[in-house]
A and B are shown apart, each in its own frame.
Chain A
Amino acid sequence: MARQMTGAEMVVQALIDQGVDTIFGYPGGAALPIYDELFQQDKIQHILVRHEQGAAHAAEGYARSTGKPGVVLVTSGPGATNTVTGLTDALLDSIPIVVITAQVPTFMIGTDAFQEADTVGITRPCTKHNYLVKDTEVLASVVHEAFHVATSGRPGPVLIDIPKDVQFAKGSYTEKNKASTGHYAPKLKGDIDQITALAAMMETAKKPIIYSGGGVINSGDSATALLRELAKETNFPVTSTLMGLGAYPASGDQWMGMLGMHGLYEANMAMHDCDLMINIGARFDDRITGRIDAFSPKSKKAHIDIDPSSINKVIHVDVPIIGDVAHVLEDLLRIWKSRGRKTQAEGLEKWWKQIEEWRAIRCLDYKNSEKVIKPQYALQRLEALTKDRKDRFITTEVGQHQMWAAQYLGFEAPNRWMTSGGLGTMGYGLPASLGVQVAHPDALVINVAGEASWLMNMQEMGTARQYNLPVKQFILNNERLGMVRQWQDLLHGNRYSHSWSEALPDFMLLAKAFGAKGITVSDPSDMDDAIMEMLKFDGPVVFDCLVEKHENCFPMIPSGAPHNEMLLGDAGVEDAIGDTGAVLV
């Protein structure tokens, strides 16, 4: 006979059976039965955050850095609504998290009860799937199914809303292997005819490019290995989206750097001029394509994606391949090899020569200064002093600093780079860094932050202190909403409408108040010492790096422009964005 237990016991048991070791949460009235169960066990550690949004981002950080789903537990009403930004973030970046929200008892649903919110209604559009469980008998099965849904196919956030009476009531526990993981079984293998078509195109391409994305990382380590093998065997250049950094190593010869709005000149030019584009686990996001009707006009395009709705959504492709990246790449390599491993060596040589010319532009060069720290310089020094650490994990907030981090830091392995790509959520980086550090207690975890973003979830320094998480908050403080100010430069005649903070806190005092170490630096010649001091300190650090206030981030494809009309550092920026471009974001 199935084991009898209360709903609250079932939740904890199901989490244990799913292999969960950590949950991020915040208690409240409706969640108390589950919290009581947590108190009476020691298999799962609970990290008490300071705001439920922090819990969701921490879970994302945990998930992105481990490849395992992150788990969140919050109370009803405000606890649940506070997770909405994190859920949306995870949805847009395809991050597996399972969020358990408590709900008012079933008999009070619909009465505007205290801390009642229509959680499944509110979160329906920002989850991959969600459940309101009204019967304890099915609760365990739902929890198991939620993990299956969150982690299968294109991963994403799943929410389970559990009324308090369902947590108290008794029912029979469904074991993990007996749970109905439903009919949800996305196709992993790609269509062999299409894969063969791609192999044939690889044989004739003279200007190919591999455009890889977060899907490679989500697909797992074997996908990363296969991507590297594909690149090595074919000698094709590789660029990647913001989400895909690390799948191909930054030190690799064929690495072109990130592409897109703030991507590298050579990567964007190659995307524009290529004759074969192989999109592996990316989604033709508007930050990548720029102007659609001028996007890579001369290329044949292949697209490997596990989500059929990604295919032909934005860009029409010639060879759509629906399947898991690792499975498809395995077949692709096998087929291409069996056909004789052919490529156009001569064409490729010319192509690489062209690429070298683009590289020679050195698009990331900037005018350094001896008086004031340039944000690019700060990141170059951070890179120089940390890149040898195999256990280095970087999270970011959102803004200029994020783009500079993507440009100036190099990633050798997947799951080392956690940033809010699709939603662009300011306030993501600090809690995400906590999630990463919890999963990798001995690693070096650095959040490259802007001062404005960082303030959005700075309360989580309390969490860092409580759990002795030695996260390094590397704040590039330009006293500006830098990215907003840059757009106002480009688009709104330098009218800096509300893009700076009049009253920034003293970050040294703030660090002290939270029991962390504060370091401040403003002279470029002190940069290395300051970074070393940060790295040596065994505990959380708030690193206040006062940088040039009006630096702009280049290269930049202005909204509305095609890939070959990038702005570089020395280009004028006035009127860079036209009237129709101006309505875009």
Chain B
Amino acid sequence: MSPLKIKKGTSRKSAYDLKDPHADVIERHTLACIVTNEAGVLARVIGLFSGRGYNIESLTVAEIDHEGHRSRITVVTTGTPEVIQQIKAQLGRMIPVHDVHDLTEEGPAVERELALFKVAGKGDKRIEAIRLAEIFRANVVDSTLESFIFEMTGTSEKIDAFADLMRPLGLVEVARTGVAALSRGEV
């Protein structure tokens, strides 16, 4: 012991917050980024998420304004409120990013995803599949004697639910676009 009553280093604790991340509330947020449509912009955004260890649940990108060279990147991500805040700040400071909207926070938003399901089966299973498709308002966009492709637009949850129902009925493949989202109302 030094005369200062400073104990010989006895700390067993960490310099970083090593607390269990699951102890915090994990939120799911849908972010819309308006970016300059230039080479590499998507790689920048994805690199930010992988480099800093953020989650990407869904990602969609497409040009929305050809003249203005603008694309919209919609990312669904999860994290603690602090992490979500960081993600927005990190996105916001990237040079080609013009705007970051947190649709989850900014009030009600409409979120839709498009999905295609290939379901193969015969007999009762086939009949059950088409019956459920009707209930879910899925369209048949391809059909053979032993398979269908259904097309469905809806929230991610609805698509998940439909996929769960189709699985025992012969679900072979699913293709999903990821979430596109807009805030509701005038602005």
Contact = CB atoms under 8 A, between A and B. Distances in A.
Given A128-B95, A149-B95, A565-B7, A581 B13 contact: yes
Contacts of A153: 93
A307 interface: yes
Contacts of A312: 82, 85-86
Given A562-B11, A581-B13, A183 B44 contact: no
A571 B17 contact: no
Contacts of A579: 12
A69 interface: no
B11 A565 contact: yes
A361 B39 CA distance: 58
A302 interface: no
Contacts of B12: 560, 578-581
A311 B12 CA distance: 28
Contacts of B85: 312
Nearest to B2: A571
Contacts of B86: 309, 312-313
Contacts of B44: 124
B9 A578 contact: yes
A561 interface: yes
Contacts of B43: 121, 124
A558 B9 contact: yes
Given A121-B43, A124-B40, A132-B40, A308 B92 contact: yes
Nearest to A265: B4
Interface string B1-28: 1111011111111111110000000000
Contacts of A1: none
Interface in A527-585: 558-562, 564-568, 570-581, 583-584
Nearest to A290: B15
Nearest to B95: A129
Interface in A132-185: 132, 149, 153-154, 182-184
B89 A308 contact: yes
A308 B93 contact: yes
Contacts of B17: 292-293
A486 interface: no
- Chain A interface main SS type: loop
B15 A286 contact: yes
Contacts of A562: 11, 13
Nearest to A562: B11
A477 interface: no
B13 A567 contact: no
B14 A183 contact: no
Nearest to A149: B95
B90 interface: yes
Contact of A576 (B9, B90, B94): B9
B13 A578 contact: yes
A148 B40 CA distance: 20
B95 A578 contact: no
A89 B43 CA distance: 22
Nearest to A490: B9
B98 interface: yes
Contacts, number: 118
B47 interface: yes
**Which of B2, B9, B16, B93 has the most C-beta atoms of chain A within 10 angstroms of its own C-beta?**
B9
A436 B9 CA distance: 40
A200 B89 CA distance: 27
B87 to A, nearest CB: 9
B41 to A, nearest CB: 11
B32 to A, nearest CB: 17
A527 to B, nearest CB: 29
B9 A577 contact: yes
Interface in A175-208: 182-184, 186
Interface string A268-294: 000000000000000000100111111
Given A311-B89, A565-B7, A291 B15 contact: yes
A19 interface: no
A294 B13 contact: yes
A132 B39 contact: yes
A32 interface: no
Contacts of A252: none
Contacts of B18: 580
B51 A125 contact: yes
Interface string B38-72: 01100110010001000000000000000000000
A293 B51 CA distance: 25
A120 interface: yes
A182 B95 contact: yes
B4 A561 contact: no
A309 B95 contact: no
A575 B93 CA distance: 42
A566 B95 contact: no
A565 B14 contact: no
18 contacts: A120-B40, A286-B15, A291-B15, A292-B15, A309-B86, A312-B86, A559-B14, A559-B15, A560-B14, A562-B13, A567-B6, A567-B9, A571-B9, A575-B8, A576-B8, A577-B11, A580-B14, A581-B13
Given A291-B13, A307-B93, A581-B15, 13 more contacts: A129-B94, A154-B93, A182-B95, A184-B95, A312-B86, A361-B4, A559-B14, A559-B15, A568-B2, A568-B6, A570-B2, A572-B8, A581-B11
Interface of A: 120-121, 124-125, 128-129, 132, 149, 153-154, 182-184, 186, 286, 289-294, 307-309, 311-313, 316, 361, 490, 558-562, 564-568, 570-581, 583-584
Interface of B: 1-4, 6-18, 39-40, 43-44, 47, 51, 82, 85-86, 89-90, 92-95, 98
3 tightest A-B contacts by CB? A576-B9, A309-B89, A578-B12
